[in-house]
């Protein structure tokens, strides 16, 4: 069964089939900030065998279709429902994890930094740069942008649409910055490869950083590829 042929935008693929995110991540394909690119374009740029990738994607989709019902089609839900999901599922998670990971990255830097001088100092700096960016970003969304979107859903107006357009452009720019930091963190850690004899804290830190990356990619995808385009397309 052929559902995807490569002409689709990456964000559209994940919107239609959320499970595709696992395969995309395995190939280091950015589906959140880079979701507006066609799959063929990305595969060609990476030098990835398109036929092989598409075969795997379509096989995975066919298998997932047998168990349909677990994934929610957020493109058909109200703005308010999607916003509430983003806050309760993703914002709450990030707010809980950032302080813990700040403690963990600082601890492994203090204990192992002299042995991993090419990795841990840079990781510590990149993480805390991202932490600072995310903390302000979540506040801006919850206190300013999301209330405007809810208002626009109830009482749309050209003035509000114009205001949201400017705000969303800024949010997408911030998403790109976070995405770049995540990629840098993955690169500097060699895809979170643990050194020989890594202690439990070191192991847990890398595990939780990968989990945070997965959550942030899905979080940004929901906003960049579903919520924001829906808001902007209605003038």
pLDDT of residue 69: 47
pLDDT of residue 23: 87
Cα torsion at 115, 118, 120, 126 (round to 10°)?
A: 170
CA dist., res. 162 & res. 156, Å (int): 11
| Helices and strands (H and E) in the chain: how many | 11, 0
pLDDT of residue 17: 83
Residues 61-109 have pLDDT tens digits of 887 776 554 567 888 899 999 999 999 999 999 999 999 999 999 999 9
Lowest mean pLDDT among 128-132, 195-199, 204-208, 226-230: 195-199
Give this prediction's pTM: 0.78
Residues 142-200 have pLDDT tens digits of 999 999 999 999 999 999 999 999 999 999 999 999 999 999 999 999 999 999 988 99
Q: Is the pLDDT of residue 34 over 80?
A: no
């Amino acid at each position: 069964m052929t559902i995807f042929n490569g002409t689709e935008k990456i964000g559209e693929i994940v919107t239609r089939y959320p499970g595709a995110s696992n395969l995309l991540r395995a190939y280091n394909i950015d589906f959140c900030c880079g979701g507006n690119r066609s799959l063929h374009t990305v595969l060609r740029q990476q030098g990835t065998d398109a036929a092989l990738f598409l075969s795997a994607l379509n096989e995975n989709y066919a298998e997932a279709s047998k168990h349909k019902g677990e994934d929610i089609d957020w493109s058909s839900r109200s703005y308010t429902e999607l916003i509430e999901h983003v806050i309760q599922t993703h914002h709450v998670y990030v707010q809980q994890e950032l302080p813990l990971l700040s403690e963990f990255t600082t601890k492994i830097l203090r204990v192992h930094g002299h042995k991993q001088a090419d990795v841990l100092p840079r990781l510590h700096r990149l993480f805390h740069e991202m932490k600072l960016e995310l903390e302000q970003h979540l506040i801006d969304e919850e206190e300013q942008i999301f209330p405007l979107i809810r208002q626009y859903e109830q009482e749309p107006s050209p003035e509000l649409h114009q205001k949201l357009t400017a705000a969303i452009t800024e949010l997408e720019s911030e998403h790109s910055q976070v995405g770049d930091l995540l990629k840098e963190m993955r690169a500097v850690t060699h895809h979170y490869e643990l050194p020989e004899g890594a202690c439990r804290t070191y192991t847990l830190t890398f595990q939780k950083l990968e989990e945070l990356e997965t959550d942030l990619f899905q979080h940004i995808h929901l906003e960049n590829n579903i919520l924001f385009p829906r808001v902007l397309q209605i003038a």
